[in-house]
Amino acid sequence: MASAPVINSRHARVVSDHSRQFAEFAFVYPVISRRSGGLSLGVNLNPDKRCNFDCVYCEVDRRIPGRVQPVAPEQLRGELTALVRAVKQAHLLREPRFAAAAELARDIKDIAFSGDGEPTMVPNFAACVEAVAQVRAAEQLDTTKLVLITDAAGLDKADVRRGLEVLDRHNGQVWGKLDAGTEAYYRTVNRSHVSFARILRNLQSTARVRPIVIQSLFLRMHGQAMSAPELEAYCARLNDILRAGGQFKEIHAYTIARPTPEPWATRLTGPELEGLAQVIRARTGQRVLTFA
């Protein structure tokens, strides 16, 4: 059996390019993703850049207004179908950035709800998930995952829970954000009006229904990395979820990969990130993958 293509330094340019504008599409875009391990088709439900977090490391520049455009499931379905077929027919390789990583751009690893804001904020989230699931089935993408990348603030909404049930039926995963162990650090790094307690409750209740991926970005702020006490508190929050019956597929520990509007938010080195991951593994017993 042939081994899967590996993302390495030769692919640095295409991996760092996560532009959410592609061709004439309003809601879909292709990227080569480190965490997906190859080609990910993004679904941007927030061209208006609406989000309930204002993370210090976010690469979305909200000083430039977004496009106010309601997400129509029918248009989303049509755009995604066209993009899937462009991949299947190798038309994507006509783009220089994908031609440079051709071995990674032929197999769709996942279709991810990830864009310029928080996807669960759209009022018709479940209908959008259903539209994507219909394309996955119609195009026979049997091994392709559906992934919700979320800050977890909206996981308690009734319409979102209906959307999660659709994900569960279509090889879906929830990647829920947890960047902090304490309310103070959460307020500093995520700068959200949503309470930290609500984020933790939502992660816990969601993880009790299906195993989720915890996605955590670690960085330096004004030259300072996460302190040892904060890291211990972070691990304690993970263990709280586990003790309450939650399950994790794995934990993704990653760092800044692209320019951010805040120049004092800077990346960690690979060894620094791996050092944090070793602590998390030791304290929680969970599988931790690093992406530097």
Strand partners, 106: none
Indicate if the pLDDT at residue 95 is higher than 50. Answer: yes
Do 139 and 187 have their domain in common?
Answer: no
Q: 17: pLDDT confidence band, cut at 50, 70 and 90?
A: very low
Range of the domain at 224: 178-292
Between 8 and 134, the more confident residue is: 134
Do 36 and 123 have their domain in common?
Answer: yes
Asked which of 128, 145, 174 is the last residue of a domain, the reply is: 174
Distance CA 67, CA 62 (A): 11
Question: What average pLDDT score do residues 126-154 get?
Answer: 98
Do 134 and 3 have their domain in common?
Answer: yes
| Interval 173-198: pLDDT, tens | 999 999 999 999 999 999 999 999 99
The half-sphere exposure of 224 on its side-chain side, counting CA atoms within 13 A, is 8
Do 137 and 160 have their domain in common?
Answer: yes
Question: What average pLDDT score do residues 43-55 get?
Answer: 96
Do 111 and 95 have their domain in common?
Answer: yes
Asked which of 174, 209, 224 is the last residue of a domain, the reply is: 174
Decide the pairing of beta strands 38-43 and 28-33: antiparallel
Would you state the structure tokens that stand for residue 51, as one six-digit string? 């989000």
Q: Minimum mean pLDDT among 80-84, 100-104, 187-191, 214-218: which range?
A: 100-104
Do 45 and 128 have their domain in common?
Answer: yes
Distance CA 72, CA 127 (A): 9
pLDDT of 100: 86
Indicate if the pLDDT at residue 262 is higher than 70. Answer: yes
Query: Given strand 220-221, what is the order of strands in its sheet?
Result: 224-225, 220-221, 265-266
Do 249 and 223 have their domain in common?
Answer: yes
- Cβ–Cβ under 8 Å, residues 73 and 274: no
| Interval 203-260: pLDDT, tens | 999 999 999 999 999 999 999 999 999 999 999 999 999 999 999 999 999 999 888 8
Do 265 and 125 have their domain in common?
Answer: no
Do 25 and 161 have their domain in common?
Answer: yes
Indicate if the pLDDT at residue 97 is higher than 90. Answer: no
Do 287 and 211 have their domain in common?
Answer: yes
- Listed residue (265, 279, 244) closest to 58, CA to CA: 265
Indicate the number of domains in the chain: 2
Between 3 and 151, the more confident residue is: 151
Do 145 and 191 have their domain in common?
Answer: no
Indicate if the pLDDT at residue 16 is higher than 60. Answer: no
Do 31 and 152 have their domain in common?
Answer: yes
Asked which of 174, 204, 219 is the last residue of a domain, the reply is: 174
pLDDT of 201: 98
Question: What average pLDDT score do residues 101-129 get?
Answer: 95
Residue 244 sits in a domain whose CATH number is 3.20.20.70
